Structure 1
């Protein structure tokens, strides 16, 4: 897609996206046989619902059909939210990933897998999971140190976080829990 076409499409689509309180993350035109595919990726702090994508697709289609921004060749329009594997490149991407596990490649080499605890204008506060029964450790990473980052997919993130913070069980703890449960039943 030429810079001129990209700028023109952005100029046409950004007001539609902004009117829905969404961020226009990406516009991509790719060949598909004798046709093309126009992909519009949108996001927000609250996420994007399927209905919003469908409504935005109808509006964008109308605007694009009323202009020659896509030229005369046929095209397919796709409107979606970013996939889980999209790179984290903007502060808003990191903000939307607070509480999630990410994989970070640092400019100085090495990869780091950690959970975003907080962020500010200069970087991230991370919790690096403990290894072999050790407690998680805190680490600060400045945005300028990050070469690239992505959210790591977790199949059961709630139980993974709970397991990290759960005190080790021993016989004494189990007996105390039983006494608490007995006292609750008697009350």
Structure 2
């Protein structure tokens, strides 16, 4: 049996941990060698789950990945492990990227040079649909990215908030003593 190369062994150690955490392995980079080795792992939620990957999830996966990578015998020296999620600056290049961003405002440049920014409402395997009923084939999109909407207030259900025990006991009374 041929000896697996280092990047393959790193992938084989990383992939099951990411999967077991309920995440998608978006990218894995193995850079350098010796004491300057950096292993960059980019994880994302599955395409049918909305929202960002939480920091606690990233932290937990980082610990598990570090433990697993420490047991990879071909990593003889120290390495730097970087675990992150793609973030909003990631270009949308695959159908799963678009699916993860349904409901978000997307800036698009098509292969014919047309530019527009509209809200993404639906994604198929080969096309996207925007809230203006504009239908664009994925093959016709040169660049697409999420536009961050800092001022947008999402509809929030009161059940989304957690009451802190005793929080009401410290309220100030507007009446005078």
Q: What displacement does 1:77 show?
A: 1.1
The structure, 1 or 2, with the larger RCO (C-alpha pairs under 8 Å, 6+ apart) is: 2
User: Is residue 93 of structure 2 the alignment partner of residue 89 of structure 1?
Assistant: yes
Match of 1:151 among 127, 141, 146: 146
Unaligned runs of 5+ in 1: 128-136, 160-187
Query: Any idea what SS the aligned residue of 1:99 has?
Result: coil
Structure 2 length-normalised TM? 0.72
CA distance in 1, matches of 2:67, 2:16: 14
2:69 to 64, 72, 90: 64
State the shift of 1:28 in Å.
Answer: 2.3
- Sort the Cα spacing of 1:5 and 1:157 in 2 relative to 1 into closer, same or farther, 3 A: farther
Whether 2:13 is the aligned partner of 1:9: answer no
Shift of 1:126: 0.9
Which of 76, 98, 102 is residue 98 of structure 1 equivalent to?
Answer: 102
TM-score (normalizing by structure 1): 0.68
Aligned length: 146
How far did residue 30 of structure 1 move? 4.2
Whole-Å separation in 2 of the counterparts to 1:94 and 1:28? 23
- Cα RMSD (Å): 2.4
CA distance in 1, matches of 2:136, 2:104: 15
Residue 22 (1) aligns with residue 23 (2): yes
Larger Rg: 1
Return closer, same or farther for 1:126/1:58 CA change in 2, 3 Å cut-off. Answer: same
